[in-house]
Structure formats: structure tokens, C-alpha cells
């Protein structure tokens, strides 16, 4: 069994209210100089080898469902 990770992040030009709230909370807790953007991580278990074909399929899955590319970008990483 192999694992592929899809990371989904709000696009830089899109406001990230959750990240902003976390940034504010960190400041209040005394963690200075940290700016947070919040995204999602999907861990995908793959039967067998992670081939180019499998990666292409996961790329399609991310583009179709996991991310909304109007507001989010994603990358696919073999773990």
C-alpha cells in the first residue's frame, strides 16, 4: 500500500477568514510574527505502485472534487 497526499490551499488572492482568525489567536497567545493560511490535506491510500497513471488519476480527482479551483489550488505529493 502506498500513500499519495493532496494538499489544497485557498488561492493567495482569496481572503482566508479561517487563517486570519488563527493568525489573530496565535498573536493573542504570544506567538509573534506568524501569519497562517489554512488549507486541507487529503491522504490517499493507493493499492499497489504509485505509477504515473495513478498520479494522473489523483490529479484528475483533485481537480474534479477535492479542490474547487475557482478559489483553491492543490498539489499532489507522493508520501
Partner 1 sequence: MPRIGVVTFPGSLDDHDALRAVQLSGAEAVPLWHGSDSIDGVDAIILPGGFSYGDYLRCGAIARFSPVMSTVIDAAGKGMPVLGICNGFQLLCEAHLLEGAMIRNAGQQFVCRDERLRVETIDTTWTCAFTKGDEITIVLKNGEGNYQASAETLRKLEDNDQVVFRYLDNPNGSANDIAGITNERGNVVGLMPHPEHNVESLTGPSTDGARFFASVLQFLSVRA
Residue 68 or 78: the one with the smaller Cβ distance to partner 1 is 68
Binding of residue 66 to partner 1 (CB under 8 A): yes
Residues 6+ apart with CB under 8 A from 5: 41, 42, 43, 44, 76, 77, 78, 79
Helix (H, G, I), strand (E, B) or coil at 52: helix
Binding of residue 50 to partner 1 (CB under 8 A): no
Binding of residue 17 to partner 1 (CB under 8 A): yes
Binding site for partner 1 (CB under 8 A): 10, 13-18, 20-21, 65-66, 68, 70-71
Amino acid at each position: 500500500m502506498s500513500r499519495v497526499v493532496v494538499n489544497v490551499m485557498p488561492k493567495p488572492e482569496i481572503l482566508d477568514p479561517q487563517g486570519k482568525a488563527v493568525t489573530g489567536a496565535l498573536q493573542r497567545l504570544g506567538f509573534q510574527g506568524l501569519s497562517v493560511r489554512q488549507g486541507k490535506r487529503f491522504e490517499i491510500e493507493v493499492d499497489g505502485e504509485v505509477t504515473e497513471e495513478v498520479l494522473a488519476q489523483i490529479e484528475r480527482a483533485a481537480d474534479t472534487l477535492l479542490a474547487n479551483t475557482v478559489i483553491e489550488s492543490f498539489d499532489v505529493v507522493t508520501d
